[in-house]
Amino acid sequence: MKDMSDTKTMILTVAERFDDRGDIMQLTLKGDGPLPLFTAGAHIDLLVETPEGPLWRQYSLAGNPADRDCYRLGILKDPESRGGSTALHRLVKTGEKVHVEGPRNHFPLATDATNTVLFGGGIGVTPMLAMAWELHDRDAPFTLHYATRSAERTAFLDQIEGLPFRANIVLHHDDGQGAEPLDLARDLPKAEAGTHVYVCGPQGFMDWVIGEAEKAGYPGKQIHREYFSADVDATGDSFEVYCEQSDLTVTVGPDETIAKVLAREGLKIEVKCEEGICGTCVTDVLEGEIDHRDQFLTEEEREDGDQICCCCSRAKGRLVLDI
């Protein structure tokens, strides 16, 4: 199971805000002293105040994991989001305090890799930059492919040009101006036992990279992914949920989620992303067949059949939860 151990809330200061290319806002967060350690691929949960109320949203850490002085984030102003990113772009200013939980890592680097290939699409480059730092410090072989629509939409470009591992980074622009578009027939290495592929970015970009890696013969355990958002259909037929510890039985309707129905009955499961990508609401299952709708659990964890993301996944029949 992935690391979900640190849920302590911190109050950090926005030491710097920089509005970068591609509608991406860079934030530098600092505390009163050294911040908790994180490993490459980790994210923090950031509390966002919106007109509809407070929301928790997850943002990957983009800085050097060896630097405990600050956390660095890149946040896309996404018009298709549910309000978190647009609220942050509108409201956050240098000097303000923000509530943070974590860091937590659902997307760690494989320690047994002999070669690592990183694919970042747009805002998906943020965890890849931290991974590149960690791999560089390990003196481990890697290549980072960073794909954007154009040079004018390429955030972090100023920092990238000065990085000590700049030679390991390949820029790709869809418009072909200044850098060739990403070509997986060329840029995805041959599948070998020690080569691991990591991908993060828009869902279409990720599905493309993952699909091509699978076609090339990469086994699932060598393809690593992290979704920033996901198109989740949480609807379906009604089903019954029995909570064993609480001795509570509920019916989840066609347009309801387990978490919302249980909350209505006074049994609250903590939920943050509501899209099945952060893992906050993962709950142990004692009996029943799960209809997984999340992007968080691995295929191996799904096959075990003993965990469910209650914010979006459903059941095929009666489900018994260990709560």
- CB hemisphere CA count around 189 (13 angstroms): 21
233 belongs to a structural domain: no
The one-letter code for the residue type at 110 is A
Does 276 share its domain with 211?
A: no
Q: What's 149's domain CATH number? A: 3.40.50.80
Domain identity same for 34 and 123: no
Q: Which DSSP symbol is given to 316?
A: S
What is the predicted pLDDT for the residue at 2?
Answer: 39
Q: Are residues 220 and 257 in the same domain?
A: no
> Do 201 and 299 sit in the same domain of this protein?
no
Count of structural domains within the chain: 3
One domain for residues 151 and 170 = yes
Kindly report whether the peptide bond that precedes residue 103 is cis, defined as omega within 30 degrees of 0: yes
Q: For residue 110, tell me if it sits in a domain.
A: no
Instruction: Examine the fold and report which residue of 197, 227, 257 is the final residue of a domain before the chain moves on.
Output: 227
* 46 in any annotated domain: yes
Owner of token pair 């109320």: 53
The answer to whether the CB of 251 falls within 8 A of the CB of 242 is no
Q: Which residues pair with 50 in a beta bridge?
A: 53
pLDDT digits (tens, 9 = 90+) for 151-190: 999 999 999 999 999 999 999 999 999 999 999 999 999 9
Alpha-carbon span 177 to 305, nearest angstrom: 48
Verify that 97 and 134 share a domain, yes or no: no
Tell me what pLDDT residue 267 has. Answer: 94
Q: Which amino acid is at 240?
A: E
Q: What is the mean pLDDT of the chain?
A: 92
| % of the chain exceeding 90 in pLDDT | 78
Tell me how far CA of residue 199 lies from CA of 85, 126, 213, in angstroms.
21, 11, 10
Q: What is the pLDDT of residue 271?
A: 84
Pair (213, 133) in one structural domain: yes
Cα angle: 95, vertex 98, 101; to 5 degrees? 145
Q: String of b and e for 55-74 (b: at least 16 CB within 10 Å)?
A: bbbbbbbbbbbeeeebbbbb
pLDDT value at residue 81? 65
pLDDT score, position 235: 87
Bridge partners of residue 61, in order along the sequence:
73
278-320 pLDDT, tens digit per residue, is 788 999 999 999 999 987 887 888 899 999 999 999 999 999 9
**What is the β-pairing status of strands 239-243 and 319-321?**
parallel
Domain boundary among 52, 84, 104: 104
Residue 232 lies in a domain: no
Assess whether 99 and 131 both reside in one domain. Answer: no
Distances (CA, A) of 211 to 38, 41, 128, 130, 215: 30, 21, 19, 24, 6
Q: List all residues 6 or more positions away from 238 whose beta carbon is below 8 Å from its beta carbon.
A: 251, 252, 253, 254
CATH number at residue 57: 2.40.30.10
Are 95 and 20 found together in one domain? yes
Strands 169-173 and 248-252 come out as unpaired
**Residue 60 included in any domain:** yes
* Whether residues 175 and 272 fall in one domain: no
Q: pLDDT in tens for each of the 323 residues of the chain?
A: 334 444 578 999 999 999 999 999 999 999 999 999 999 999 999 998 777 678 888 899 999 999 999 999 999 998 766 667 888 998 899 999 999 999 989 899 999 999 999 999 999 999 999 999 999 999 999 999 999 999 999 999 999 999 999 999 999 999 999 999 999 999 999 999 999 999 999 989 999 999 999 999 999 999 999 887 666 788 899 999 999 999 999 999 999 999 999 999 999 998 877 878 778 899 999 999 999 998 788 788 889 999 999 999 999 999 999 99
The bridge status of strand 53-60 relative to strand 115-121 is unpaired
Task: Let me know if residue 234 belongs to a domain.
Answer: no
For residue 152, the model assigns a pLDDT of: 95
125 and 220, same structural domain?
Answer: yes
Look up the domain containing 42 and give its range: 9-104
Whether residue 109 lies inside any domain: the answer is no
Task: Verify that 168 and 92 share a domain, yes or no.
Answer: no
Q: Which residues, other chains included, contact 186 with Cβ-Cβ below 8 Å and sequence gap of 6+?
A: none
Within a domain: 274: yes
CB atoms within 10 A of CB 177: 10
Domain boundary among 207, 227, 247: 227
CATH of the domain at 289: 3.10.20.30
